[in-house]
Amino acid sequence: MRTRLHRLSLVLAAAALTLAALPSVAAGASPAQDPVPIGHNQFFTGLINGHPPGQAVIYVLCPGPVNHGHPTGHQPIEVQPVVPSGSTSHLGFTGSAGKSITASLAPSATTNVLATFTSYFVKKFIPTTITVPCSGTGTVAFAPSPGSANARTALLTVTFINLGA
């Protein structure tokens, strides 16, 4: 009888611990994702401000009557691995040699580098020192490096929204 009570108390204690963890999940808390190293032959996508292709926005501060300004601070940019389903036109592919991904504001890939990644799920911030349009759309290119014959750059269309107007 004593062994049964002991087992029952262990089961109840384990159930209580499990239930104690549920309120944080029910409240919408999401678990943190550990960085995952970027490797060869992987599909990926880019995110800006947590938004995927078709919804990405970069907020810009353009005081006065100017056409260009600087991105506001603390706007995250990251890359995530994906499993392709259907069309892969918006996805990048690291290719046979890729070990990192560089995000640049196209077409001037050498002057407007936003971030370089060696791992997925690592948020970096768009630099506030670059110059971008005050409105309209642009393209952020997420290019695998080193390149290879089968590597493919992911292109993310972004909308620039002026917060200074």
- Which of residues 91 and 9 earns the better pLDDT score? 91
The CATH number assigned to the domain with range 36-162 reads: 2.60.40
Peptide bond into 107 cis (omega under 30): yes
Q: What was the pLDDT predicted at 65? A: 80
CA atoms within 13 A on the CB side of 130: 21
- pTM score of the predicted model: 0.77
**Domain extents in the chain:** 1-31, 36-162
Q: What is the DSSP string of 118-162?
A: SEET--EE--TTS-EESSEEEEEEEEEES--TT-B-EEEEEEEEE
What does pLDDT average to over the chain?
82
Sheet holding 56-61, edge to edge: 113-117, 100-106, 136-145, 154-162, 56-61, 68-71, 132-133
